[in-house]
Amino acid sequence: MGEGRVRGWGTNDAHGPLPCPGVPHPSPLPMGEGGRGAYTHGGGEAMGIIKAAVSLANPGKPKLEPVRVQAVVDTGAITLYIPEHVRLQLDLKESERREVTVANGKKEVVPYVGPVKLTCLGRSCYAGALVLGDRVLLGAIAMEDLDLVIEPAKQEVTVNPESPNIPSGIVM
């Protein structure tokens, strides 16, 4: 998420808010995303892990029930991450394998699946997902596509107040 998308937080660069050093992440994530489980803002108060209620579905199999979860929201993560059990529930087929560097520095080759229909706060998008970790993690691309922002003071995800009725984007 670019600057201005995470309301009320300083950013270290185009990757989002400054992480709270030394806070372990709940699951192995690509390098640069570890330690982003808690943040500070303003006077340095610790912020908790921000989660959002999301629904994940396989658009190629509409008869399958969507999977509803509390996803960890991480603006430092680029893509959508899902655990293996979610991939199995949605019967998502691997389209390719991708190499990632996890927080402990090790490289892993993981399945890339999709498309996944992602719905949050009445907004939907389609994304590919890396199968990794033990929980769903919502990254910056999906957040941008859904036009959602983080309200740090409330520790919640909300629709962008500049476009409350329909997701919007910038095309250049």
- DSSP per-residue string spanning 87-100: HHHHTPPEEEEEEE
Q: Name the DSSP class of 23.
A: P
Residue 148 within any structural domain of the chain: yes
Question: Which single residue is written with the structure tokens 């995470």?
Answer: 6
**Is residue 166 one of the residues assigned to a domain?**
no
The answer to whether position 167 is within a domain reads no
SS3 (DSSP) at 150: strand
CATH number of 32's domain: 2.40.70.10
Longest dimension (CA), the chain: 49
In a domain, 168, yes or no: no
DSSP 33: -
71 with 80: CB under 8 angstroms? no
| Domain membership flag for residue 112 | yes
Helix (H) or strand (E) holding 84: helix 84-90
Q: State how far the Cα of 46 lies from the Cα of 106, in Å rounded to an integer.
A: 28
Q: How many domains does the chain have?
A: 1
Question: In terms of residue numbers, what domain contains 25?
Answer: 11-159
Digits of tens for pLDDT over the chain (172 positions)?
Answer: 343 344 433 333 333 333 333 333 333 444 334 333 333 344 444 457 899 999 999 999 999 999 999 999 998 889 999 999 999 999 999 999 999 988 899 999 999 999 999 999 999 999 999 999 999 999 999 999 999 999 988 999 999 999 999 999 888 8
Has residue 1 been placed in a domain? no
Give the integer Cα–Cα distance in Å for 70 and 104.
25
For 71, the enclosing helix (H) or strand (E) is strand 67-73
* Residue 139 domain flag: yes
**Has residue 165 been placed in a domain?**
no
Token pair listed for 60: 């190629």
Prediction pTM value:
0.73
